[in-house]
Structure 1
Amino acid sequence: MVRFQMVIDCTDPELLARFWADALHYRLEPAPDGFATWDDYWRSVGVPEDELGIGFDSIVDPAGQGPRIWFQIVPEKKSLKNRLHLDINASGGRSIPLPTRKQRVDDEAERLTKLGATATRVLETEGLDHYAIAMRDPEGNEFDIN
């Protein structure tokens, strides 16, 4: 099996780490054993002081099944459409009646809006058994709820 980490460029790692931890039901990744904070750990391996103090910058799946997600600080803000995005599956799948799936998606969109996301559009086509909501996280990265 191949293990991987997902990396998301951002200007405020802790903001996005907290948002996505709540959105994905992940948890903030604790500092390595023997260190009170990530800054303490990074200091111990020689990272300069001027690169510290950004707070939590990674999240992990508490069940240990999903990938670790690291929020890498970059100086520039997001300017173009994502070439990769997450789909959050909240509907329960096609075996669930469409009205129930729609309600579940709407409920999840409302929950994530309260956490700082913005809904951008409903993804629905008459006659097609599909319903989703396109959203943006607090830094503008696109994702869908379906």
Structure 2
Amino acid sequence: MITGLDHVQLAAPPGSEDALRAFYGGVLGLREIPKPASLAGRGGCWFEAGPATQLHLGIDPDFHPAEKAHPAFRVTAIHTHATRLTTHNTPITWDDNLPDHERFYTHDPVGNRLEFLEPRTPGSSTATGNTPAPTE
């Protein structure tokens, strides 16, 4: 029986840890957590958003960004996240194809696709100026 999802891992190129820390820790506000000593020599970095949500970024010498596969971050105040990203020169693409949700896509500094979504509350309006993103 599967009881939950422990973490999602994305790949990153060698030497990208500083850019990843600036983006995931600085821009998104995720907390970096230490990698176990037995894995630390591999490079990369791990982050968490609360005790049950982890994102691992592992170094891959033959890195290719995930352009279709992606983690989806469930957020509150989605427009605040969108503003924070665009303020940090990170383009976003709104997508209104998921019923009852507001969501957008962006990419991390190494090109991995990321989704942000928030369920709509009854009576809330849709995001304005939405541009469809690539289909899932």
TM-score > 0.5 by shorter chain: yes
The residue aligned with 1:64 is: 51
- Residues 1:109 and 2:82 aligned together: yes
Of 9, 18, 32 in structure 2, the residue corresponding to residue 7 of structure 1 is 9
Counterparts of 2:4 and 2:102 in 1: how far apart (Å)?
32
- Rate the CA distance shift 1:140–1:58 in 2: closer, same or farther, 3 A: same
Counterparts of 1:89 and 1:58 in 2: how far apart (Å)?
19
> Retained in 1: the 8 A contact 2:7–2:53?
no
The residue aligned with 1:140 is: 111
Q: Letter of the aligned partner of 1:65 in structure 2?
A: A
Cα deviation for residue 73 of structure 1 reads 0.9
Could you say which structure has the larger radius of gyration?
Answer: 1
Matched residues, number: 111
Give the aligned CA root-mean-square deviation in angstroms.
Answer: 3.3
Structure 1 or 2: larger helix share?
1
The residue aligned with 1:101 is: none
> Retained in 1: the 8 A contact 2:65–2:112?
no
The residue aligned with 1:122 is: 94
Counterparts of 2:81 and 2:106 in 1: how far apart (Å)?
11
Query: Residues 62-109 of structure 1, C-alpha deviation per residue, up to 9 Å, x if partnerless?
Result: x42323x3211112343552323323423xxxxxxxxxxxxx323211
> Retained in 2: the 8 A contact 1:133–1:144?
yes
Cα deviation for residue 129 of structure 1 reads 4.5
Cα deviation for residue 23 of structure 1 reads 5.3
Q: Letter of the aligned partner of 2:95 in structure 1?
A: L
Match of 1:110, SS state, is helix
Match of 1:143, SS state, is strand
Cα deviation for residue 110 of structure 1 reads 1.5
Amino-acid identity (%): 16
Cα deviation for residue 24 of structure 1 reads 5.1
Q: Letter of the aligned partner of 1:118 in structure 2?
A: P
Q: Letter of the aligned partner of 1:123 in structure 2?
A: D
Counterparts of 1:116 and 1:70 in 2: how far apart (Å)?
23
Of 78, 81, 84 in structure 1, the residue corresponding to residue 64 of structure 2 is 78
Instruction: Provide the TM-score with structure 2 as the length reference.
Output: 0.58
